[in-house]
Structure formats: structure tokens, C-alpha cells
Amino acid sequence: MKMTIYSCETHINHALDVFVAREGEFPIMELLSDDKKLSTSCTYCEEAALYIVANK
Ligand SMILES: [Zn+2]
């Protein structure tokens, strides 16, 4: 199953923990592009997302 988490700086460790717990493998972690940073908020708070955590 495809899983995608957007995360700010504060929640990136939590996002990685949640991903590994659910998927049983380490995710791909990438920086969001500048245009997406402006329009995407963190999955866990209202901050702008900096990272995208997902499987391939
Ligand atoms: Zn956050």
C-alpha cells in the first residue's frame, strides 16, 4: 500500500517512526520542492511541510 507523509522539521522523526511501524521498512525521505513547501502542510501540525516521506 502506498503511504505518503508530509512533515515539518519538528515531526520528521515521528513521521519516520510511524512509517517504519506501519510499513516495516525504511522510507524514502526527500525535501519538498520550494513551490510545494508553500502549499503543503505537515501531517501532524499546521506548519509548512519540509519533507515528504514515502515508499517507492
Ligand atoms: Zn509538524
The DSSP line for the chain is ---EEEE-TTTHHHHHHHHHHHHSSPPEEEEPPHHHHHH-B-SSSSSBP-EEEE--
pLDDT value of residue 2 = 83
Q: How many Å lie between the centroid of ligand 1 and the Cα of residue 28?
A: 18
Q: How many Å lie between the centroid of ligand 1 and the Cα of residue 3?
A: 17
Model confidence pLDDT, tens digit, residues 4-56? 999 999 999 999 999 999 999 999 999 999 999 889 999 999 999 999 999 97
Cell 505518503 belongs to which residue?
4
d(CA 26, CA 35): 26
Q: How many Å lie between the centroid of ligand 1 and the Cα of residue 17?
A: 14
pLDDT value of residue 41 = 97
